[in-house]
């Protein structure tokens, strides 16, 4: 009996230490800590989920894969990502179909430097399960054109090039708090066209999400948290065109203490993954 009591006490101690050292916690929009299982249950009921990551955060990337796998067990999934640009869809499709290998994809698709470690597992999951994976982001050269010359610069593009961006003219609300905050953060380096360059990314990602969405499925999209925080960015464009759909959002933040969600991080998404700021980064 004493041995059993000792074992129980020791197990409880280990659990307590583990909880204190946990590198992350999940919160709802109100700042209440929730379990991964509860988040999964809520999100599996949605039509679309925007997973806002910190690009170099390993906890976010790990949870992206876990959530993708768990949602696949419950829903018909369509995947998409900011990290692959729309004009590389043909190459991505060829890889998913097994017609080219990773080396060929990497040589043609302008993959991010951390693709192999952080996004390849998601693409390979889609390949294994024969899922659609949408290259949703605007080709960076067009975002650069907008930064230099505003939306009007896009009028010079050919019909083929315009097929890789959201339909013109681009709806734009410069008074959205997220866009105004970009200007505030950039200070003297900010400009109206800088915010437009952000908006063309948001609008294009929303466009390709909706273009590839199928009724009855769940579209899971991976993007930088700033593209969907505060229910703005991509989500603003999605709701503008399809207010009838049910959306879910996730954001990722870092804090020195993950056991209480700071006020500034509350309300930015339906679920907030709060990661210890000491966590190692992928680059």
**pTM: predicted TM-score of the whole model, two decimal places:** 0.91
Contact criterion met (CB below 8 Å) for 212 and 219: yes
> Across all residues in the chain, what is the average pLDDT?
93
Local confidence band at 20 (pLDDT 50, 70, 90 cut-offs): low
Neighbouring residues of 92: CB distance < 8 A, sequence distance ≥ 6: 84, 105, 109, 123, 133, 135
Local confidence band at 139 (pLDDT 50, 70, 90 cut-offs): very high
40-61 pLDDT, tens digit each = 999 999 999 999 999 999 999 9
Contact criterion met (CB below 8 Å) for 92 and 84: yes
Q: Does residue 172 have a pLDDT over 50? A: yes
Work out the average pLDDT over 225-254.
98
Contact criterion met (CB below 8 Å) for 168 and 162: yes
Tell me which residue of 205, 244, 210, 209 sits closest to 227, measured CA to CA: 205
Local confidence band at 21 (pLDDT 50, 70, 90 cut-offs): confident
Tell me which residue of 72, 142, 119 sits closest to 222, measured CA to CA: 119
Local confidence band at 190 (pLDDT 50, 70, 90 cut-offs): confident
64-102 pLDDT, tens digit each = 999 999 999 999 999 999 999 999 999 999 999 999 999
The fold of the 24-276 domain, in CATH, is Rossmann fold (3.40.50)
Strands, E assignment, the chain: 24-28, 33-34, 48-53, 77-85, 133-137, 218-224, 247-255, 271-276
Longest dimension (CA), the chain: 82
The whole-number pLDDT of residue 4 equals: 46
What is the rounded CA–CA span in Å between residue 243 and residue 265?
25
107-123 pLDDT, tens digit each = 999 999 999 999 999 99
- By residue count, the chain amounts to 283
Work out the percent of the chain whose per-residue pLDDT is above 90: 88
Enumerate the H helices of 97-191 as residue ranges.
102-108, 120-129, 140-149, 159-162, 177-186
């Amino acid at each position: 009996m004493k041995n059993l009591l000792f074992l129980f006490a020791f197990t409880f101690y280990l659990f307590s230490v583990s909880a204190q050292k946990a590198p992350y916690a999940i919160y709802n929009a109100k700042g209440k800590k929730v379990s991964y299982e509860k988040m999964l249950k809520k999100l599996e009921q949605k039509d679309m989920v925007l997973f806002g990551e910190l690009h170099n955060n390993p906890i976010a990337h790990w949870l992206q894969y876990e959530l993708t796998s768990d949602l696949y067990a419950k829903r018909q999934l369509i995947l998409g990502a900011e990290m692959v640009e729309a004009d590389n869809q043909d190459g991505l499709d060829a890889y998913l179909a097994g017609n080219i290998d990773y080396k060929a994809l990497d040589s043609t698709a302008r993959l991010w430097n951390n693709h192999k470690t952080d996004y390849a597992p998601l693409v390979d999951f889609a390949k294994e399960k024969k899922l659609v994976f949408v290259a949703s982001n605007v080709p960076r050269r067009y975002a650069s054109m907008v930064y230099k010359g505003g939306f009007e610069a896009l009028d010079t593009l050919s019909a083929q090039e315009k097929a890789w961006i959201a339909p013109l003219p681009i709806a734009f609300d410069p008074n959205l708090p997220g866009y105004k905050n970009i200007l505030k953060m950039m200070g003297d380096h900010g400009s109206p066209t800088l915010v437009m360059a952000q908006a063309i990314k948001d609008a294009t990602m929303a466009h390709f999400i909706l273009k590839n969405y199928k009724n009855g499925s769940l579209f899971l999209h991976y993007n930088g948290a700033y593209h969907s925080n505060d229910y703005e960015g991509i989500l603003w464009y999605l709701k503008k065109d399809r207010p009838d759909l049910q959306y879910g959002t996730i954001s990722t933040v870092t804090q020195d203490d993950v056991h209480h969600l700071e006020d500034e991080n509350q309300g930015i998404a339906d679920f907030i993954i709060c990661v210890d700021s000491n966590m190692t980064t992928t680059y």
